[in-house]
Structure 1
Amino acid sequence: MSSLRSRLAALMIPLVLCAGAVTPAHAQPPSPSPDATAAKKEPLAPEEARLRALRRAAERGNHSYYDADKVSADGRSRQSVSKLATITAFPATPPQPDTGNCLAKEEAKTAEGWTYNRLLWCQTVGYRANYTKRTSTGTVIYMGSVEVTWEMVAMGSNTQRAIRVFWRPVAGSVRYVGWTVGVPSAQPFAVHPACAEAAPYCNNLGTPARRTWAAWNTTTDWASWDVTSPARSGDSTREKITSPHWHLVTDATSLEYPEIPAGRTNDWPFRCDSADYFSRFGQAFDQACVFTDVIPHLQYSLSSPKHAAVARHIQEAQLSPDTSYPIESHRKVIPGRWEPDPDPEYGSLHRVEGSGTIAAANTTWKDYACNRNGPYNATTGLPPKTPQQEAEGWQCDEYPFRSTAEGASSGTWDFSVRWVPSSQNGSAGGSLIAFFFDDRILHVNDPFWVKINP
């Protein structure tokens, strides 16, 4: 099996944040780096930021799933994302096992990195600093290069409008290339994250991490910084959304090599909000920052003893809507099915307020179909419960969910109802609520999908 260094070798050139421009004839020159001091971006409107993030996620195949079978009866999830979602302060080191699982992905070894879920992003990538000197006549002479492989992790939060960025070199990965004189092991190298947008829209906190190449080669410590995005002054919206970007900046300059240009990675997006409708077990979670270039979806399983009947209902509603109740006079189209590469937005579900008018209207129309009244009758509505179902207290389940804009009262989409055991209906509903919290699904703003597993 190839080593990490050899697997990253092919990535070193196209992903390099180069720090110099003159190389010997036998060496392949690295790609030019963007100017690390480029002008700040104008903030994106929330709608444009959301659409861009969805397109990025679809193009890259970033899918953050939430397994309903791992939510216990009290609504607490065993999934790692749930543990991250309730952390009130950032840890000193990246959280495990999420970090290890994320860095193990091949997609993490790209210029874009890998969005593991709405609360974690990671990257393992190669960097090269090209060292040059200028002669008294102005000629630039290439002296050699230093290559290093680093790991980077960014962690979101459901408790503050900030993300934490962690960075460290892979121990032993520093290499000195092309040097005919002594290698620059005592030369400094510094890194720090920076915002693509100007303050106060986005703020990077902390000082650059600076050590010599020799010191970086032996350390296993993580450097960390916080990047914040406060609510904008005068924003009267309920969520107070901001959509900033951050990147990493490198600095390999010294007194001996003062002309090495700064390097800069790609810009990576995140979203912050101050939605006041998130709470769990009596605690409010009214500030958050999450990673949006990932497609969130909820998974139910046909084999689950907790919600198999609900999963079967959703699957058949998605795949065979015309066989579902209520019966309509047109071909039924029911949204929300998760596809490997869904078209951004089309057929997605959108959360609405559980105590709002849309959810109440969804309940009204569901009850029409379940009770065979309103626009439905004994032929088009759901057949009555069997005596056994009646004795066991089965309930009328609806899909799409009551708490979505695409629910039973939607004038655009159709819906399905079916009798299911009350315990399974409650379990599935509890998992949906946990998913909304852990993946920070905002009202209307965040599209999501549902997948049914065997």
Structure 2
Amino acid sequence: MSALAGTVALGANHAAAAHAAPPTESKLRVEIVGLDGKPLGPGPAYPATAEGALAAAAAKGNEPSPEQATPEFQKAVSELADRPAGKPMLAQELPEYFLNLCKNDPRAESATGHVFHRLFWCQRFGLKARAYRGTTLSGEVTLKWIAAAVGNYKIRTNTFWLQPTFAGDNWGDYGNALTTQLTVGPVCAATGDPGCSTNYGPLTLPLEDWQRHVRIGQWTSWNIDSDETKSSAPDKVSNHKWHITTGVHTPEPGNEWSADSPDNGMRCDSALYFRDDPRACTSSDVIPWLPVLSGFLTEYAAHIRQALDAPDTTFPPEPHPKLIPGKYFYGDSTKPGLHRIPESESGANRAEARKACVKIPTHGPDQECDEYPFASTMEGAASIPWDFSVKYIDGWQNRWGGNDLQDFYRSSRILYKLQDTFYVNIIG
């Protein structure tokens, strides 16, 4: 007898001992739950808009986190952002740094997974299918996995990866690893999303094959694609929804059971002002933010922190309480953020900031006048609703901070104006 057959027989014997077999005429009912014991099913609904994505991000906890400011994190982002166009990613090319985060970070262990960056959603989860006859538990099977959705800055697609990490606990009605079949895979939201499609349907395999995939560490991939011709929005923006669908089949005729995970957001665009990256798809349920390290750019960070935390102490003074946007408050996506504008529209902000800078009486020879909010945002110095701050800081830090901002616009795919909102938080 094979090892697998022995395992199946042991599972069946265990089931017989633990649960008296119910009469065969009892009607079968199956409940599919997540590893947390909660029934799988749709979560709260959020509008397929930029504002809806921010609300979903705050609710799911996809918010600014200190590790995003580390060189290791930024290197992993670059590995994904700089992939050549038209070159399919192989499983072994998934960034090890992100996979280790997924395997060890408790935020990934949920029905919604976790968006670590717009380019990387990950989940460490699974399902249990529990069979009942009447009120008696008559069988159970478990499938665990690690899954990742990797964005793309070259074409309008997300690549979804899934690797089973455990398949078993099969007994009772699910005691046969050959005839028990399990289904897992990504699908687009069923309604209101005509531009979204996947290149393959969900994967359905006998439990025995899932167990083989576990043994060899098999990854399976799908493309979640976006058709730009279906969008009439600026930059051909499409806000899609997708989720993981799961299912279980038993030999008893007519018994197909399924359940879906909560929706995840995917934003795709054809923004040609990203000259090297004219098309893209990213995870949208995440709060974009620019991390500024106070231990590195000390004067630059101190100015932004002062503007965000103590605006009334900044220059120029105003006869009213100053309102300076851009600070993120955890759990609240409604706080005012910043919105990028084209460089060609930043002149008014720079001119207004210069008028304030010349009124500062003294500064050192190596200092430059820094402004916040940034001139490249709608909320800059010329903005009517918002106030601003200027301060002389080390010139090298001022230029480095400006370069960091431009890198952030690309690495986080920040679109122009109200299509995107981002925040600035100081680390340290």
* CA deviation after TM superposition for structure 1 residue 59, in Å: 2.1
Distance in 2 separating the partners of 1:266 and 1:453: 32
The amino acid of 1:221's aligned partner reads Q
- Corresponding residue number in structure 2 for 1:217: 211
Which structure has the highest helix share of the two?
2
Match for residue 308 of structure 2 among 318, 341, 351 = 318
- Residue aligned with 2:228, SS: coil
Structure 2 gaps of 5+ residues are 1-26, 32-36
- Residue aligned with 1:184, SS: coil
- Corresponding residue number in structure 2 for 1:16: none
Distance in 1 separating the partners of 2:38 and 2:69: 47
The amino acid of 2:220's aligned partner reads A
Query: Does the CA-based 8 Å contact 2:235-2:271 persist in structure 1?
Result: yes
Match for residue 29 of structure 2 among 5, 18, 22 = 22
- Corresponding residue number in structure 2 for 1:288: 280
* CA deviation after TM superposition for structure 1 residue 253, in Å: 3.0
* CA deviation after TM superposition for structure 1 residue 312, in Å: 1.2
The amino acid of 1:335's aligned partner reads P
Q: Structure 1's 31 and 302: CA in aligned 2 closer, same or farther, altered over 3 A?
A: closer
Q: TM-score, normalised by structure 2?
A: 0.81
- Corresponding residue number in structure 2 for 1:355: 344
The amino acid of 1:290's aligned partner reads T
* CA deviation after TM superposition for structure 1 residue 156, in Å: 1.0
Q: Structure 1's 149 and 383: CA in aligned 2 closer, same or farther, altered over 3 A?
A: same
Distance in 1 separating the partners of 2:124 and 2:256: 23
- Corresponding residue number in structure 1 for 2:351: 364
- Corresponding residue number in structure 2 for 1:432: 405
- Residue aligned with 1:368, SS: helix
The amino acid of 1:435's aligned partner reads F
Q: Structure 1's 331 and 132: CA in aligned 2 closer, same or farther, altered over 3 A?
A: closer
Instruction: State whether structure 2 residue 417 is matched by structure 1 residue 450.
Output: no
Query: Does the CA-based 8 Å contact 1:103-1:122 persist in structure 2?
Result: no
* CA deviation after TM superposition for structure 1 residue 395, in Å: 1.6
Match for residue 169 of structure 1 among 156, 164, 171 = 164
* CA deviation after TM superposition for structure 1 residue 418, in Å: 1.1
Instruction: State whether structure 2 residue 80 is matched by structure 1 residue 91.
Output: no
Instruction: State whether structure 2 residue 374 is matched by structure 1 residue 401.
Output: yes
Query: Does the CA-based 8 Å contact 1:67-1:298 persist in structure 2?
Result: no
- Residue aligned with 1:22, SS: strand
Correspondence 1:137-152 to 2 at 5 A: 144-152=139-147
* RMSD of aligned alpha carbons: 3.1
Query: Does the CA-based 8 Å contact 1:202-1:228 persist in structure 2?
Result: yes
Query: Does the CA-based 8 Å contact 1:398-1:416 persist in structure 2?
Result: yes
- Residue aligned with 2:299, SS: helix
Distance in 1 separating the partners of 2:314 and 2:227: 47
- Corresponding residue number in structure 1 for 2:241: 245
- Corresponding residue number in structure 2 for 1:415: 388
- Residue aligned with 2:177, SS: coil
- Residue aligned with 1:409, SS: coil
The amino acid of 2:186's aligned partner reads P
CA offset digits 1:240-271 (Å, max 9, x no partner):
11111112223433665542223322221111
The amino acid of 1:327's aligned partner reads P
Match for residue 324 of structure 2 among 334, 351, 354 = 334
- Residue aligned with 1:115, SS: strand
Identity %: 30
Structure 1 gaps of 5+ residues are 1-19, 25-29, 36-40, 134-138, 372-380
Distance in 2 separating the partners of 1:337 and 1:415: 13
Q: Structure 1's 406 and 182: CA in aligned 2 closer, same or farther, altered over 3 A?
A: closer
- Corresponding residue number in structure 2 for 1:10: none
Query: Does the CA-based 8 Å contact 2:160-2:223 persist in structure 1?
Result: yes
Distance in 2 separating the partners of 1:361 and 1:298: 23
* CA deviation after TM superposition for structure 1 residue 129, in Å: 2.9
Query: Does the CA-based 8 Å contact 2:241-2:266 persist in structure 1?
Result: yes
* CA deviation after TM superposition for structure 1 residue 90, in Å: 4.2
- Residue aligned with 2:354, SS: helix
Distance in 2 separating the partners of 1:431 and 1:273: 23
CA offset digits 1:399-429 (Å, max 9, x no partner):
0101111110011111111112222111101
Distance in 2 separating the partners of 1:118 and 1:314: 24
Q: TM-score, normalised by structure 1?
A: 0.77
Distance in 2 separating the partners of 1:68 and 1:105: 13
